[in-house]
Chains A and B, each alone.
Chain A
Amino acid sequence: MPVTDPDARGRWGPYGGRYVPETVMGALDALEAAYLEASRDAEFQNRLDYYLKEYAGRPTPLYFAENLTKRAGGAKIFLKREDLLHTGAHKMNNTLGQVLLARRMGKTRIIAETGAGQHGVATATACALLGLECVVYMGSVDTRRQRMNVFRMELLGAEVRPVDSGSKTLKDAINEAMRDWVTNISDTFYCIGSVVGPSPYPQIVRDFQSIIGSEVRSRCLEREGRLPDCLVACVGGGSNAIGLFHPMLDDASVRMVGVEAGGLGLDSGKHGATLCKGSPGVLHGAMSYLLQDVYGQVAETHSVSAGLDYPGVGPEHSHLKDTGRVEYTSVTDEEALDGFCTLCEAEGIIPALESSHAAARGIRIAAEMKPDQVVVINVSGRGDKDLEIVEGLA
């Protein structure tokens, strides 16, 4: 049993739980039971494995980035290529799992929130494949800065509903999705895109994403004859990071670094570095670290990457911060853009701005390590969606 499974009430230490309107409590119980049943059902697992392999393209490569390694002049840098997964990000691992689960539960309508649009696209894709109705909530700031993803979702048959309340970003999209869920609880399945939300979502999403770390672990042993010395991933809600970290949490020699959005700098007040600068609180159904003011009002965040522009973070990450098992740090918008350009130039890989945060930090970490050591950077998504933003900043 991995060291960080939640307790019977869905908690890692004080974090997690179910802080939701009563209307959805029964649905969460039903989801928990259905998930437990599905996870023990070989046919469900076979079906998921089939789609992950034949449709989405797993396993993804663990690529030895030789040029980047030379540049950094330290440890060997490997890139986990989740950007090569169908739809261009790790999100597909989770949406295939959840939408299959929804169909198994007899739900006919899927709702989702999205920030950068990657989870929205992955949900719309799974719904197109498996024949379910799909509605995606997206902050109106994000529908503008990620409009190609809006078009993608619409092509895939989803309805995209722009959200104009609050900060008009990911946080508000989740609020609106929750309101939809409360209203349409009987036929609707809420496909949450990160390891956030009420129990059992953080565990379900983590389990579906853990294939990333499982593949890294076995491929690294096979190719290098050793475990990685350090894993680096970006953290917004934290799904790609927990997916990479979780299968190796019990491997004490593996250092793990989560990289948050430093925005314009941690002292600027304009960032999304929840674990670096936040304090415990309750948002979107779970207790976790949270960017908030002294009155418990949730703070507005900023990041050049829409996917990291979120004031909360997963409860398991909150716990891993407190226990010290994972280090959490941040890089600024500017540093992330440097990471983006470096990966483009050195390796011919255009990463998502989210993943560029991990790249920027991972390259620096590798530079301080020995040549026989191994650093794995999770390239959680590809950067096509971000080209307009980068062009605008250049």
Chain B
Amino acid sequence: MRIHEQFAKLKSGNEAALIGYLTAGFPTMEGFLSNLEEAAGSGADIIEIGIPFSDPIADGPTIQMSSQIGLANGATLPAILKAIRDLDLNIPLVFMSYLNPLLAYGQDRLLADMIHAKVTGLIVPDLPVEEAASWKSAAESRGVDTIFLVTPASPEERVRRIAEASTGFVYCVSLTGTTGARHDLSDDLPAFLDRVRSFTNTPIAVGFGISGPEHIRRLLPHADGMIVGSRVIDAIRNGEDVGGLIRKLKDATRK
């Protein structure tokens, strides 16, 4: 399923997308796969699969930890693609990866293998629009969406450029900082989301720091998708019921 189809379906049902994040190979490769099925079955509308990298400069302690464990468990791109190939989740999957593992795998080969594994979107936190031309055109011809991040620190001209370059959705980073669950969200966030919205008709999703239903309800009038990452990883680490958490978060996305 393509991402825009999912957003269209949700819009007609008057709900926002719940976008969950799972680090591949965390807590184990089997645990990751069962959490993936559990999250999809409990209401996640899109799932970002984090490809572990040795040097995750945009991530806070939680995802640094899960990435390190994923790497130790052998969650390399070939292993991940093989493991998820036969799943039938019926929701769009997206890879979130730093650039270097993607370069090592090879652009064409990766995009082809992503399509085989029904992964139809790509988020690369260290690949800004300026450096993304070849990825963007190759992904477009393969039917993979390229999702770029926009932040409150992005000047107006960059916001426009990023909004135009993004397909599937625009990833709005809620704060200037690394990933990680936060207690409070910035008061300026709704205005930032509205500003991004003014540049595009592509759905906009908000992530970084979103940790509970109350955050989601507050942002519901301003974004089409809610991305929850570190909170999910924390839940897995603490042995919480992942399906229960996803259901609770999903409920909050219904208007």
Q: Which residues of A contact B (CB under 8 A)?
A: 9, 17-27, 29, 165-166, 171-172, 175, 178-179, 182-186, 281-285, 290, 292, 294-298
Contact = CB atoms under 8 A, between A and B. Distances in A.
Given A295-B77, A297-B53, A297-B100, 8 more contacts: A18-B128, A21-B149, A23-B151, A29-B155, A166-B55, A185-B153, A186-B153, A295-B101
Contact of A179 (B128, B131, B150, B178): B178
26 contacts: A18-B131, A19-B127, A20-B128, A21-B58, A21-B126, A22-B125, A22-B148, A22-B150, A22-B154, A22-B173, A26-B154, A27-B153, A166-B54, A179-B59, A179-B60, A182-B57, A182-B58, A185-B176, A281-B104, A282-B100, A282-B126, A294-B104, A296-B104, A297-B54, A297-B71, A297-B101
Contacts of A186: 153, 176
A20 B126 contact: yes
A20 B58 CA distance: 9
Interface string B76-104: 11100000000000000000001111111
Given A22-B149, A296-B101, A182 B176 contact: yes
Contacts of B98: 282
Contacts of B77: 295
A17 B131 contact: yes
Contacts of B153: 22-24, 26-27, 185-186
B130 A22 contact: no
A237 to B, nearest CB: 15
Interface of B: 53-60, 64, 68, 71, 76-78, 98-105, 125-128, 130-131, 148-151, 153-155, 158, 162, 173, 176-178
Given A25-B158, A179-B178, A19 B126 contact: yes
Nearest to B99: A282
Contacts of B155: 26, 29
A9 B176 CA distance: 25
Contacts of A18: 128, 130-131
A20 B158 CA distance: 14
Given A281-B103, A294-B104, A296-B105, A183 B54 contact: no
Contacts of B151: 21-23
Contacts of B125: 21-22
B100 A298 contact: yes
A298 B54 contact: yes
B58 to A, nearest CB: 4
A338 B105 CA distance: 41
A29 B162 CA distance: 16
Contacts of A19: 99, 126-128, 131
Contact of A182 (B99, B150, B154, B178): B178
A8 to B, nearest CB: 11
B57 A175 contact: yes
A298 B76 CA distance: 13
A29 B58 CA distance: 19
A287 B110 CA distance: 19
B66 to A, nearest CB: 13
Given A185-B153, A295-B101, A296-B101, A284 B54 contact: no
B99 to A, nearest CB: 5
Contacts of A26: 153-155, 158
Nearest to B177: A183
A21 B104 contact: no
B162 A22 contact: yes
Contacts of A171: 55
A182 B57 CA distance: 9
A175 B55 contact: yes
B96 to A, nearest CB: 13
Contacts of A24: 153
Contacts of A184: 176
A321 to B, nearest CB: 18
Nearest to B71: A297
A136 to B, nearest CB: 17
Contacts of B130: 9, 18, 25
A296 B100 contact: yes
Interface centre among B99, B148, B173, B176 (most CB of A within 10 A): B176
